[in-house]
Structure 1
Amino acid sequence: MPYDIVVLTDQKHAHPNKIDDYTKNVIVEDALVTNALGKLGLKVTRLAWSDPDFDWSSTKAVLFRTTWDYFDDFPKFSDWLNSVSKVTTLINSEALIRWNIDKHYLQDLKNNGVHIAETLFIESGTSKSLEELHAETGWTETVLKPCISGAARHTYKLNSENRANHEGVYKVLIANEAMMLQPFQHRIVSEGEVSMMVFNGQFTHAILKKAKAGDFRVQDDFGGSVHDHTPTEAEIEFAENTVKACNELPLYARVDIFNDNDGKIALAELELIEPELWFRNHPEAAMILAEAIKEKLNN
Protein backbone atom coordinates (compact mmCIF):
# COMPACT_ATOMS: atom_id res chain seq x y z
CA MET A 1 0.00 0.00 0.00
CA PRO A 2 1.53 3.34 -0.99
CA TYR A 3 1.58 6.09 1.65
CA ASP A 4 1.67 9.84 1.49
CA ILE A 5 3.82 10.04 4.60
CA VAL A 6 5.48 7.84 7.20
CA VAL A 7 5.90 9.25 10.71
CA LEU A 8 9.28 8.03 11.94
CA THR A 9 10.10 6.75 15.40
CA ASP A 10 12.67 4.26 16.74
CA GLN A 11 12.38 0.54 17.41
CA LYS A 12 11.93 1.00 21.16
CA HIS A 13 8.91 3.23 20.69
CA ALA A 14 7.51 1.46 17.63
CA HIS A 15 7.22 -1.76 19.65
CA PRO A 16 7.42 -0.80 23.34
CA ASN A 17 7.87 -3.57 25.88
CA LYS A 18 6.19 -1.46 28.55
CA ILE A 19 4.17 1.73 28.59
CA ASP A 20 5.67 4.01 31.22
CA ASP A 21 4.94 7.74 31.40
CA TYR A 22 7.85 8.56 29.09
CA THR A 23 6.73 6.08 26.43
CA LYS A 24 3.12 7.21 26.79
CA ASN A 25 4.16 10.77 25.98
CA VAL A 26 5.95 9.58 22.84
CA ILE A 27 2.90 7.64 21.68
CA VAL A 28 0.59 10.59 22.38
CA GLU A 29 2.87 13.03 20.55
CA ASP A 30 3.18 10.83 17.48
CA ALA A 31 -0.55 10.10 17.48
CA LEU A 32 -1.42 13.80 17.46
CA VAL A 33 0.66 14.33 14.33
CA THR A 34 -0.50 11.11 12.66
CA ASN A 35 -4.16 11.90 13.32
CA ALA A 36 -3.78 15.47 12.05
CA LEU A 37 -2.25 14.22 8.81
CA GLY A 38 -5.04 11.67 8.46
CA LYS A 39 -7.72 14.34 8.94
CA LEU A 40 -6.30 16.12 5.91
CA GLY A 41 -6.88 13.02 3.79
CA LEU A 42 -3.28 11.84 3.72
CA LYS A 43 -2.43 8.13 3.91
CA VAL A 44 -0.10 7.84 6.87
CA THR A 45 1.59 5.18 8.99
CA ARG A 46 4.14 5.18 11.81
CA LEU A 47 7.32 3.10 11.63
CA ALA A 48 10.80 2.86 13.08
CA TRP A 49 13.37 4.42 10.76
CA SER A 50 15.38 1.20 11.06
CA ASP A 51 12.47 -1.03 10.00
CA PRO A 52 14.20 -3.68 7.82
CA ASP A 53 11.12 -4.68 5.82
CA PHE A 54 9.58 -1.42 4.66
CA ASP A 55 10.02 -0.23 1.09
CA TRP A 56 10.78 3.45 1.54
CA SER A 57 10.06 4.19 -2.12
CA SER A 58 6.39 3.40 -1.41
CA THR A 59 5.86 6.65 0.51
CA LYS A 60 5.93 10.21 -0.81
CA ALA A 61 7.61 11.52 2.30
CA VAL A 62 8.92 10.66 5.75
CA LEU A 63 8.58 12.87 8.82
CA PHE A 64 11.27 12.57 11.48
CA ARG A 65 9.59 12.61 14.85
CA THR A 66 10.90 10.36 17.64
CA THR A 67 13.99 8.80 16.05
CA TRP A 68 15.75 9.15 19.37
CA ASP A 69 18.29 6.37 18.90
CA TYR A 70 19.99 7.66 15.75
CA PHE A 71 23.17 8.72 17.55
CA ASP A 72 23.55 5.27 19.18
CA ASP A 73 24.55 3.84 15.78
CA PHE A 74 25.23 6.92 13.71
CA PRO A 75 27.03 5.15 10.81
CA LYS A 76 23.96 2.95 10.26
CA PHE A 77 21.66 5.95 10.45
CA SER A 78 23.85 7.92 8.05
CA ASP A 79 23.83 5.09 5.50
CA TRP A 80 20.06 4.79 5.81
CA LEU A 81 19.67 8.55 5.44
CA ASN A 82 21.74 8.49 2.28
CA SER A 83 19.73 5.69 0.68
CA VAL A 84 16.22 6.74 1.71
CA SER A 85 16.76 10.33 0.55
CA LYS A 86 17.17 9.00 -2.99
CA VAL A 87 13.68 7.44 -3.08
CA THR A 88 11.44 9.77 -1.05
CA THR A 89 11.17 13.27 0.42
CA LEU A 90 12.64 13.86 3.87
CA ILE A 91 11.04 16.31 6.31
CA ASN A 92 13.21 18.07 7.29
CA SER A 93 15.54 17.65 4.30
CA GLU A 94 18.69 15.52 4.31
CA ALA A 95 20.81 18.66 3.93
CA LEU A 96 19.23 20.25 7.02
CA ILE A 97 19.49 17.03 9.02
CA ARG A 98 23.16 16.49 8.26
CA TRP A 99 23.94 20.13 9.01
CA ASN A 100 21.97 20.04 12.27
CA ILE A 101 23.47 16.76 13.53
CA ASP A 102 26.81 18.44 14.22
CA LYS A 103 26.71 21.36 16.63
CA HIS A 104 29.25 23.23 14.53
CA TYR A 105 26.03 24.57 12.97
CA LEU A 106 25.95 27.02 15.87
CA GLN A 107 28.97 28.78 14.40
CA ASP A 108 27.18 29.04 11.04
CA LEU A 109 24.18 30.64 12.72
CA LYS A 110 26.43 33.01 14.64
CA ASN A 111 28.00 34.04 11.32
CA ASN A 112 24.44 34.73 10.09
CA GLY A 113 23.71 37.07 12.99
CA VAL A 114 22.20 34.75 15.61
CA HIS A 115 23.45 35.29 19.17
CA ILE A 116 24.69 31.99 20.62
CA ALA A 117 26.28 31.01 23.89
CA GLU A 118 30.01 31.68 23.87
CA THR A 119 31.54 28.46 22.53
CA LEU A 120 34.97 26.93 21.97
CA PHE A 121 34.92 24.09 19.44
CA ILE A 122 37.59 21.48 20.20
CA GLU A 123 38.38 19.43 17.12
CA SER A 124 39.01 15.69 17.23
CA GLY A 125 42.66 14.83 17.86
CA THR A 126 43.41 18.01 19.79
CA SER A 127 46.25 17.40 22.24
CA LYS A 128 45.45 20.22 24.64
CA SER A 129 44.16 19.18 28.06
CA LEU A 130 41.09 20.56 29.79
CA GLU A 131 43.41 22.44 32.13
CA GLU A 132 45.15 24.11 29.19
CA LEU A 133 41.88 25.01 27.48
CA HIS A 134 40.50 26.60 30.62
CA ALA A 135 43.72 28.54 31.14
CA GLU A 136 43.50 29.88 27.57
CA THR A 137 39.84 30.91 27.77
CA GLY A 138 39.91 32.15 31.35
CA TRP A 139 36.62 30.35 32.00
CA THR A 140 36.24 28.91 35.50
CA GLU A 141 32.90 27.10 35.36
CA THR A 142 32.09 25.38 32.07
CA VAL A 143 30.03 22.71 30.33
CA LEU A 144 31.74 20.15 28.08
CA LYS A 145 29.79 18.10 25.54
CA PRO A 146 30.23 16.34 22.19
CA CYS A 147 29.41 18.10 18.92
CA ILE A 148 27.30 15.11 17.89
CA SER A 149 25.11 14.00 20.74
CA GLY A 150 21.66 13.89 22.26
CA ALA A 151 19.91 13.46 25.62
CA ALA A 152 22.90 15.11 27.35
CA ARG A 153 25.26 12.26 26.40
CA HIS A 154 28.73 12.90 27.88
CA THR A 155 27.71 16.34 29.11
CA TYR A 156 29.79 17.46 32.08
CA LYS A 157 29.77 20.51 34.31
CA LEU A 158 33.37 21.42 35.06
CA ASN A 159 35.12 23.64 37.60
CA SER A 160 38.59 23.96 39.13
CA GLU A 161 37.83 21.25 41.67
CA ASN A 162 36.61 18.49 39.31
CA ARG A 163 38.39 19.21 36.01
CA ALA A 164 41.25 16.85 36.73
CA ASN A 165 38.78 14.02 37.32
CA HIS A 166 37.42 14.45 33.78
CA GLU A 167 40.75 14.55 31.92
CA GLY A 168 40.60 10.79 31.34
CA VAL A 169 37.16 10.63 29.76
CA TYR A 170 37.87 13.82 27.81
CA LYS A 171 41.07 12.30 26.37
CA VAL A 172 39.14 9.23 25.18
CA LEU A 173 36.33 11.33 23.69
CA ILE A 174 38.50 13.92 21.91
CA ALA A 175 40.52 11.19 20.24
CA ASN A 176 37.40 10.12 18.36
CA GLU A 177 35.04 13.09 18.12
CA ALA A 178 34.88 16.87 18.28
CA MET A 179 33.78 18.47 21.54
CA MET A 180 32.55 21.89 22.58
CA LEU A 181 33.26 23.91 25.70
CA GLN A 182 31.01 26.71 26.93
CA PRO A 183 30.94 28.94 30.00
CA PHE A 184 28.39 27.67 32.48
CA GLN A 185 25.17 29.62 32.05
CA HIS A 186 23.86 30.40 35.53
CA ARG A 187 20.53 31.78 34.34
CA ILE A 188 19.54 28.42 32.84
CA VAL A 189 19.58 27.05 36.40
CA SER A 190 17.79 30.02 37.97
CA GLU A 191 15.35 30.86 35.13
CA GLY A 192 15.22 27.76 32.91
CA GLU A 193 15.43 27.26 29.15
CA VAL A 194 12.60 28.07 26.74
CA SER A 195 11.72 25.85 23.78
CA MET A 196 10.06 27.80 20.97
CA MET A 197 8.23 25.74 18.33
CA VAL A 198 8.36 27.23 14.81
CA PHE A 199 6.53 25.63 11.86
CA ASN A 200 7.16 26.83 8.31
CA GLY A 201 8.80 29.94 9.73
CA GLN A 202 5.97 30.87 12.10
CA PHE A 203 6.03 30.57 15.90
CA THR A 204 3.22 28.47 17.39
CA HIS A 205 3.85 27.75 21.09
CA ALA A 206 6.49 27.67 23.79
CA ILE A 207 7.53 25.53 26.74
CA LEU A 208 9.70 26.43 29.74
CA LYS A 209 12.06 23.67 30.92
CA LYS A 210 13.58 23.87 34.39
CA ALA A 211 16.25 21.67 35.93
CA LYS A 212 15.55 19.83 39.15
CA ALA A 213 17.14 21.17 42.30
CA GLY A 214 20.87 20.50 42.33
CA ASP A 215 21.14 19.74 38.60
CA PHE A 216 21.91 21.88 35.54
CA ARG A 217 20.32 19.72 32.81
CA VAL A 218 16.77 20.69 31.90
CA GLN A 219 15.91 17.45 30.03
CA ASP A 220 13.15 15.38 31.63
CA ASP A 221 15.52 12.40 31.34
CA PHE A 222 17.34 14.00 34.28
CA GLY A 223 14.34 15.06 36.30
CA GLY A 224 13.70 18.39 34.62
CA SER A 225 10.18 19.82 34.67
CA VAL A 226 8.08 21.31 31.86
CA HIS A 227 5.83 24.36 32.13
CA ASP A 228 3.68 26.34 29.72
CA HIS A 229 5.30 29.61 28.73
CA THR A 230 3.98 32.81 27.22
CA PRO A 231 6.91 34.27 25.28
CA THR A 232 7.77 37.90 24.83
CA GLU A 233 7.73 39.54 21.41
CA ALA A 234 11.53 39.61 21.57
CA GLU A 235 11.64 35.83 22.14
CA ILE A 236 9.26 35.20 19.22
CA GLU A 237 11.29 37.46 16.94
CA PHE A 238 14.51 35.73 17.98
CA ALA A 239 13.09 32.26 17.29
CA GLU A 240 11.68 33.16 13.87
CA ASN A 241 14.89 34.95 12.86
CA THR A 242 16.91 31.91 13.91
CA VAL A 243 15.12 29.56 11.50
CA LYS A 244 15.35 32.17 8.76
CA ALA A 245 19.13 32.19 9.25
CA CYS A 246 19.33 28.57 8.02
CA ASN A 247 20.40 27.85 4.44
CA GLU A 248 16.85 26.65 3.78
CA LEU A 249 13.68 27.20 5.79
CA PRO A 250 12.92 24.16 7.99
CA LEU A 251 9.34 22.91 7.90
CA TYR A 252 9.54 22.40 11.65
CA ALA A 253 12.02 23.57 14.24
CA ARG A 254 12.45 23.82 17.97
CA VAL A 255 14.47 26.85 18.98
CA ASP A 256 15.89 26.47 22.49
CA ILE A 257 16.75 29.84 24.00
CA PHE A 258 17.86 31.25 27.34
CA ASN A 259 19.07 34.47 28.89
CA ASP A 260 22.88 34.32 28.95
CA ASN A 261 25.14 35.50 31.76
CA ASP A 262 24.89 39.04 30.35
CA GLY A 263 21.09 38.91 30.28
CA LYS A 264 20.82 38.65 26.48
CA ILE A 265 18.58 36.17 24.65
CA ALA A 266 20.86 33.47 23.28
CA LEU A 267 20.45 30.29 21.28
CA ALA A 268 21.17 27.10 23.18
CA GLU A 269 20.28 24.72 20.35
CA LEU A 270 18.29 24.62 17.12
CA GLU A 271 16.60 21.22 16.86
CA LEU A 272 15.67 20.20 13.30
CA ILE A 273 15.93 16.40 13.40
CA GLU A 274 13.75 14.79 16.05
CA PRO A 275 12.86 17.38 18.67
CA GLU A 276 10.13 16.87 21.21
CA LEU A 277 7.54 19.43 20.15
CA TRP A 278 5.03 19.20 23.02
CA PHE A 279 1.94 18.91 20.87
CA ARG A 280 0.22 17.50 23.96
CA ASN A 281 0.49 20.98 25.49
CA HIS A 282 -0.74 22.69 22.33
CA PRO A 283 -2.65 20.13 20.16
CA GLU A 284 -3.67 22.64 17.50
CA ALA A 285 0.01 22.97 16.52
CA ALA A 286 -0.07 19.39 15.18
CA MET A 287 -2.62 20.48 12.58
CA ILE A 288 -0.51 23.52 11.68
CA LEU A 289 2.42 21.20 10.95
CA ALA A 290 0.18 18.76 9.07
CA GLU A 291 -1.15 21.53 6.84
CA ALA A 292 2.39 22.69 6.07
CA ILE A 293 3.35 19.12 5.15
CA LYS A 294 0.34 18.70 2.87
CA GLU A 295 1.15 21.97 1.14
CA LYS A 296 4.74 20.79 0.60
CA LEU A 297 3.55 17.48 -0.88
CA ASN A 298 1.20 19.30 -3.25
CA ASN A 299 3.91 21.61 -4.59
Structure 2
Amino acid sequence: MKIYDVVILTDARYLEDSDTNAYKHNVFYEDLLVQNALKAEGLNVIRLAWDDSEFNWNSTKAVLFRTTWDYFNRFHEFSKWLKAVSKETLLLNSEYIIRWNIDKHYLLDLKKKGIHITESHFIEPGTETNLSELHKQLNWQETVLKPCVSGGGRHTYKLNADNLTAHEAIFSELIKEEALMLQPFQHNIVSEGELSLMVFNGEYSHAVLKKAKSGDFRVQDDFGGSVHIYTPTEAEIDFAIKAVKACTELPIYARVDIFTDNEGLIALAELELIEPELWFRNELKAATVFAKHITLRLN
Protein backbone atom coordinates (compact mmCIF):
# COMPACT_ATOMS: atom_id res chain seq x y z
CA MET A 1 0.00 0.00 0.00
CA LYS A 2 1.39 3.38 -1.03
CA ILE A 3 1.66 5.84 1.85
CA TYR A 4 1.08 9.57 1.40
CA ASP A 5 2.04 12.44 3.64
CA VAL A 6 -0.85 14.71 2.66
CA VAL A 7 -4.07 14.35 0.70
CA ILE A 8 -5.42 17.69 -0.52
CA LEU A 9 -9.21 17.54 -0.45
CA THR A 10 -11.47 19.01 -3.09
CA ASP A 11 -14.85 18.00 -4.48
CA ALA A 12 -15.34 16.05 -7.68
CA ARG A 13 -16.32 19.11 -9.75
CA TYR A 14 -12.82 20.57 -9.39
CA LEU A 15 -10.61 17.54 -9.92
CA GLU A 16 -9.71 18.62 -13.44
CA ASP A 17 -8.46 21.95 -14.77
CA SER A 18 -10.58 23.95 -17.21
CA ASP A 19 -9.58 26.09 -20.18
CA THR A 20 -13.07 27.56 -20.53
CA ASN A 21 -14.25 28.06 -16.95
CA ALA A 22 -12.18 30.64 -15.05
CA TYR A 23 -13.75 29.72 -11.72
CA LYS A 24 -12.80 26.04 -12.03
CA HIS A 25 -9.34 26.99 -13.27
CA ASN A 26 -8.72 29.20 -10.23
CA VAL A 27 -9.73 26.37 -7.89
CA PHE A 28 -7.45 23.92 -9.65
CA TYR A 29 -4.58 26.41 -9.88
CA GLU A 30 -4.66 27.36 -6.20
CA ASP A 31 -4.73 23.73 -5.11
CA LEU A 32 -1.84 23.08 -7.49
CA LEU A 33 0.18 25.88 -5.87
CA VAL A 34 -0.35 24.25 -2.47
CA GLN A 35 0.43 20.79 -3.83
CA ASN A 36 3.67 21.95 -5.45
CA ALA A 37 4.71 23.82 -2.29
CA LEU A 38 4.15 20.71 -0.18
CA LYS A 39 6.13 18.62 -2.65
CA ALA A 40 8.95 21.16 -2.42
CA GLU A 41 9.01 20.38 1.31
CA GLY A 42 9.73 16.76 0.41
CA LEU A 43 6.21 15.51 1.09
CA ASN A 44 4.37 12.87 -0.92
CA VAL A 45 1.09 14.54 -1.91
CA ILE A 46 -2.07 13.60 -3.82
CA ARG A 47 -5.27 15.55 -4.52
CA LEU A 48 -8.63 13.78 -4.24
CA ALA A 49 -12.35 14.42 -3.86
CA TRP A 50 -13.34 14.06 -0.21
CA ASP A 51 -15.99 11.46 -1.13
CA ASP A 52 -13.59 9.22 -3.06
CA SER A 53 -14.91 5.79 -2.08
CA GLU A 54 -11.87 3.86 -3.35
CA PHE A 55 -9.16 5.63 -1.39
CA ASN A 56 -7.90 4.07 1.84
CA TRP A 57 -7.83 7.03 4.23
CA ASN A 58 -5.42 5.41 6.67
CA SER A 59 -2.81 5.37 3.89
CA THR A 60 -2.06 9.07 4.44
CA LYS A 61 -0.57 10.89 7.41
CA ALA A 62 -2.90 13.85 6.99
CA VAL A 63 -5.72 15.26 4.91
CA LEU A 64 -5.89 18.96 4.14
CA PHE A 65 -9.32 20.50 3.56
CA ARG A 66 -9.05 22.91 0.68
CA THR A 67 -11.94 23.12 -1.81
CA THR A 68 -14.62 20.77 -0.48
CA TRP A 69 -17.25 23.25 -1.59
CA ASP A 70 -20.19 20.87 -1.80
CA TYR A 71 -20.16 19.83 1.88
CA PHE A 72 -22.99 22.15 2.95
CA ASN A 73 -25.27 20.80 0.24
CA ARG A 74 -24.49 17.22 1.33
CA PHE A 75 -24.08 17.89 5.01
CA HIS A 76 -25.46 14.61 6.38
CA GLU A 77 -23.22 12.57 4.08
CA PHE A 78 -20.23 14.81 4.79
CA SER A 79 -20.76 14.59 8.55
CA LYS A 80 -20.73 10.78 8.50
CA TRP A 81 -17.61 10.76 6.32
CA LEU A 82 -15.91 13.30 8.59
CA LYS A 83 -16.51 11.15 11.67
CA ALA A 84 -15.16 8.06 9.95
CA VAL A 85 -12.06 9.61 8.37
CA SER A 86 -11.08 11.38 11.60
CA LYS A 87 -10.40 7.92 13.06
CA GLU A 88 -8.10 7.05 10.16
CA THR A 89 -5.75 10.04 9.86
CA LEU A 90 -4.89 13.58 10.97
CA LEU A 91 -7.31 16.25 9.74
CA LEU A 92 -6.15 19.77 8.94
CA ASN A 93 -8.04 21.49 10.38
CA SER A 94 -9.24 18.99 13.01
CA GLU A 95 -12.68 17.39 13.15
CA TYR A 96 -13.36 19.26 16.39
CA ILE A 97 -12.65 22.68 14.95
CA ILE A 98 -14.42 21.88 11.68
CA ARG A 99 -17.63 20.90 13.49
CA TRP A 100 -17.37 23.97 15.70
CA ASN A 101 -16.83 26.25 12.71
CA ILE A 102 -19.50 24.71 10.45
CA ASP A 103 -22.28 26.17 12.61
CA LYS A 104 -22.30 29.95 12.88
CA HIS A 105 -23.24 29.72 16.55
CA TYR A 106 -19.44 29.72 16.97
CA LEU A 107 -19.68 33.51 16.68
CA LEU A 108 -21.24 33.58 20.15
CA ASP A 109 -18.25 31.68 21.57
CA LEU A 110 -15.88 34.26 20.09
CA LYS A 111 -18.01 37.11 21.40
CA LYS A 112 -17.67 35.69 24.92
CA LYS A 113 -13.89 35.86 24.46
CA GLY A 114 -13.98 39.54 23.56
CA ILE A 115 -14.04 39.36 19.75
CA HIS A 116 -16.36 42.01 18.31
CA ILE A 117 -18.79 40.24 15.99
CA THR A 118 -21.62 41.34 13.77
CA GLU A 119 -24.72 41.87 15.88
CA SER A 120 -26.60 38.59 15.41
CA HIS A 121 -29.94 37.05 16.36
CA PHE A 122 -30.17 33.25 16.13
CA ILE A 123 -33.46 31.50 15.34
CA GLU A 124 -33.52 27.83 16.24
CA PRO A 125 -35.28 25.12 14.16
CA GLY A 126 -38.97 24.84 14.88
CA THR A 127 -39.27 28.34 16.35
CA GLU A 128 -42.79 29.65 15.79
CA THR A 129 -42.25 33.15 14.50
CA ASN A 130 -42.11 35.04 11.24
CA LEU A 131 -39.95 37.72 9.71
CA SER A 132 -42.35 40.56 10.46
CA GLU A 133 -42.48 39.64 14.15
CA LEU A 134 -38.70 39.35 14.34
CA HIS A 135 -38.08 42.74 12.78
CA LYS A 136 -40.56 44.39 15.16
CA GLN A 137 -39.05 42.59 18.15
CA LEU A 138 -35.48 43.56 17.26
CA ASN A 139 -36.36 46.99 15.87
CA TRP A 140 -34.17 46.37 12.83
CA GLN A 141 -35.15 48.02 9.56
CA GLU A 142 -32.77 46.39 7.08
CA THR A 143 -31.33 42.94 7.72
CA VAL A 144 -29.58 39.95 6.20
CA LEU A 145 -30.97 36.45 6.76
CA LYS A 146 -28.78 33.37 6.33
CA PRO A 147 -28.60 29.73 7.50
CA CYS A 148 -26.27 28.84 10.37
CA VAL A 149 -24.77 26.07 8.24
CA SER A 150 -24.11 27.44 4.80
CA GLY A 151 -21.59 28.69 2.30
CA GLY A 152 -21.34 30.49 -1.00
CA GLY A 153 -24.27 32.76 -0.19
CA ARG A 154 -26.80 29.88 0.00
CA HIS A 155 -30.19 31.20 1.11
CA THR A 156 -28.76 34.61 1.98
CA TYR A 157 -31.35 37.37 1.65
CA LYS A 158 -31.35 41.12 2.18
CA LEU A 159 -34.60 42.08 3.87
CA ASN A 160 -36.53 45.29 4.52
CA ALA A 161 -40.14 46.38 5.01
CA ASP A 162 -40.80 46.19 1.26
CA ASN A 163 -39.89 42.53 0.80
CA LEU A 164 -40.57 40.80 4.14
CA THR A 165 -43.88 39.37 2.96
CA ALA A 166 -42.27 37.95 -0.18
CA HIS A 167 -39.72 36.04 1.94
CA GLU A 168 -42.07 34.69 4.63
CA ALA A 169 -42.71 31.43 2.74
CA ILE A 170 -39.04 30.54 2.28
CA PHE A 171 -38.32 31.52 5.89
CA SER A 172 -41.15 29.27 7.07
CA GLU A 173 -39.75 26.31 5.13
CA LEU A 174 -36.13 26.84 6.18
CA ILE A 175 -36.83 27.25 9.90
CA LYS A 176 -38.57 23.87 9.99
CA GLU A 177 -35.27 22.14 9.23
CA GLU A 178 -32.35 24.37 10.16
CA ALA A 179 -31.19 27.22 12.39
CA LEU A 180 -31.06 30.68 10.86
CA MET A 181 -29.43 33.94 11.82
CA LEU A 182 -30.62 37.49 11.30
CA GLN A 183 -28.19 40.42 11.30
CA PRO A 184 -28.56 44.16 10.75
CA PHE A 185 -27.59 45.11 7.23
CA GLN A 186 -24.06 46.50 7.23
CA HIS A 187 -23.87 49.49 4.89
CA ASN A 188 -20.07 49.76 4.95
CA ILE A 189 -19.70 46.36 3.31
CA VAL A 190 -21.46 47.77 0.26
CA SER A 191 -19.51 51.03 0.19
CA GLU A 192 -16.09 49.84 1.39
CA GLY A 193 -16.12 46.06 0.96
CA GLU A 194 -15.06 43.21 3.24
CA LEU A 195 -11.49 42.26 4.13
CA SER A 196 -10.15 38.72 4.22
CA LEU A 197 -6.95 38.20 6.20
CA MET A 198 -5.18 34.85 5.92
CA VAL A 199 -3.60 33.55 9.13
CA PHE A 200 -1.43 30.40 9.15
CA ASN A 201 -0.73 28.76 12.51
CA GLY A 202 -1.50 32.04 14.27
CA GLU A 203 0.71 34.17 11.99
CA TYR A 204 -0.63 36.74 9.51
CA SER A 205 0.17 35.95 5.86
CA HIS A 206 -1.67 38.20 3.39
CA ALA A 207 -4.99 39.89 2.72
CA VAL A 208 -7.50 40.80 0.03
CA LEU A 209 -10.37 43.25 -0.24
CA LYS A 210 -13.64 41.83 -1.56
CA LYS A 211 -16.17 44.20 -3.09
CA ALA A 212 -19.73 43.55 -4.21
CA LYS A 213 -20.77 44.41 -7.74
CA SER A 214 -22.91 47.48 -8.23
CA GLY A 215 -26.45 46.91 -6.96
CA ASP A 216 -25.58 43.83 -4.85
CA PHE A 217 -24.49 43.31 -1.25
CA ARG A 218 -22.81 39.90 -1.55
CA VAL A 219 -19.04 40.03 -2.01
CA GLN A 220 -18.62 36.43 -3.22
CA ASP A 221 -17.40 36.09 -6.79
CA ASP A 222 -20.33 33.70 -7.33
CA PHE A 223 -22.46 36.85 -7.39
CA GLY A 224 -20.14 39.06 -9.39
CA GLY A 225 -17.97 40.32 -6.54
CA SER A 226 -14.39 41.39 -7.22
CA VAL A 227 -11.16 40.74 -5.30
CA HIS A 228 -8.32 43.23 -4.83
CA ILE A 229 -4.87 42.96 -3.23
CA TYR A 230 -4.94 44.79 0.09
CA THR A 231 -2.42 45.89 2.70
CA PRO A 232 -4.13 45.81 6.12
CA THR A 233 -3.48 48.15 9.00
CA GLU A 234 -1.79 46.96 12.17
CA ALA A 235 -5.15 47.18 13.93
CA GLU A 236 -6.74 44.90 11.32
CA ILE A 237 -3.90 42.38 11.56
CA ASP A 238 -4.06 42.44 15.36
CA PHE A 239 -7.83 41.86 15.27
CA ALA A 240 -7.45 38.91 12.90
CA ILE A 241 -4.75 37.21 14.97
CA LYS A 242 -6.71 37.70 18.19
CA ALA A 243 -9.80 36.17 16.56
CA VAL A 244 -7.84 33.09 15.50
CA LYS A 245 -6.18 32.70 18.90
CA ALA A 246 -9.59 32.94 20.57
CA CYS A 247 -10.36 29.48 19.17
CA THR A 248 -10.06 26.71 21.76
CA GLU A 249 -7.61 25.03 19.38
CA LEU A 250 -5.13 26.85 17.15
CA PRO A 251 -6.05 26.12 13.51
CA ILE A 252 -3.29 25.50 10.97
CA TYR A 253 -5.06 27.93 8.64
CA ALA A 254 -7.81 30.50 8.96
CA ARG A 255 -9.40 33.19 6.87
CA VAL A 256 -10.66 36.07 8.98
CA ASP A 257 -13.35 38.12 7.26
CA ILE A 258 -13.72 41.56 8.81
CA PHE A 259 -15.37 44.88 8.01
CA THR A 260 -16.16 48.27 9.51
CA ASP A 261 -19.59 47.97 11.12
CA ASN A 262 -22.38 50.55 11.28
CA GLU A 263 -20.81 51.99 14.46
CA GLY A 264 -17.41 52.41 12.82
CA LEU A 265 -15.75 49.49 14.61
CA ILE A 266 -13.76 46.58 13.18
CA ALA A 267 -16.10 43.59 13.35
CA LEU A 268 -15.80 39.91 12.54
CA ALA A 269 -18.07 38.75 9.74
CA GLU A 270 -16.84 35.16 9.56
CA LEU A 271 -13.95 33.04 10.78
CA GLU A 272 -13.44 30.47 8.02
CA LEU A 273 -11.63 27.33 9.21
CA ILE A 274 -12.98 24.59 6.94
CA GLU A 275 -12.36 25.18 3.26
CA PRO A 276 -11.89 28.91 2.68
CA GLU A 277 -10.60 30.39 -0.52
CA LEU A 278 -7.16 31.67 0.47
CA TRP A 279 -6.14 33.58 -2.70
CA PHE A 280 -2.71 32.04 -3.11
CA ARG A 281 -2.86 33.21 -6.71
CA ASN A 282 -2.64 36.79 -5.42
CA GLU A 283 0.32 36.06 -3.12
CA LEU A 284 2.33 33.18 -4.57
CA LYS A 285 4.89 33.03 -1.76
CA ALA A 286 2.06 32.39 0.72
CA ALA A 287 1.71 28.82 -0.56
CA THR A 288 5.33 28.18 0.42
CA VAL A 289 4.77 29.65 3.89
CA PHE A 290 1.60 27.58 4.26
CA ALA A 291 3.43 24.39 3.25
CA LYS A 292 6.18 25.03 5.82
CA HIS A 293 3.59 25.37 8.59
CA ILE A 294 1.96 22.09 7.54
CA THR A 295 5.34 20.35 7.46
CA LEU A 296 6.08 21.54 10.99
CA ARG A 297 2.67 20.30 12.15
CA LEU A 298 3.37 16.83 10.71
CA ASN A 299 6.81 16.53 12.34
Q: Give the TM-score of the pair, scaled to structure 1.
A: 0.98
Does structure 1 residue 267 correspond to structure 2 residue 268?
yes
Does structure 1 residue 146 correspond to structure 2 residue 150?
no
Residue 23 of structure 2: aligned partner:
22
CA distance in 1, matches of 2:104, 2:123: 11
SS across alignment from 1:175: helix
Correspondence 1:32-111 to 2 at 5 A: 32-111=33-112
Correspondence 1:135-284 to 2 at 5 A: 135-284=136-285
CA distance in 2, matches of 1:226, 1:145: 22
CA distance in 2, matches of 1:100, 1:281: 25
CA distance in 1, matches of 2:203, 2:226: 25
Q: Deviations over 1:126-146 (max 9, x none)?
A: 101111110010000000000
CA distance in 1, matches of 2:75, 2:60: 23
CA distance in 2, matches of 1:18, 1:51: 24
Segments of 4+ moved more than 2 angstroms: 15-19
Amino acid at match of 2:10: T
How far off its partner does 1:14 sit?
A: 1.2
Identity %: 64
Q: Which moved more, 1:187-196 or 1:8-17?
A: 8-17
CA distance in 1, matches of 2:9, 2:154: 22
CA distance in 1, matches of 2:285, 2:3: 27
Amino acid at match of 1:265: I
How far off its partner does 1:294 sit?
A: 0.7
Structure 1 gaps of 5+ residues are none
CA distance in 2, matches of 1:165, 1:20: 34
Q: Deviations over 1:255-283 (max 9, x none)?
A: 00000001100000000000000000001
Residue 130 of structure 2: aligned partner:
129
Amino acid at match of 2:267: A
Structure 2 gaps of 5+ residues are none
CA distance in 2, matches of 1:193, 1:163: 26
Amino acid at match of 1:162: N
Change (3 A) 1:18 1:74: farther
Report the aligned-residue RMSD. 0.9
CA distance in 1, matches of 2:285, 2:94: 24
Number of equivalent positions: 298
Does the 8 Å CA contact 2:17/2:28 hold for their aligned counterparts? no
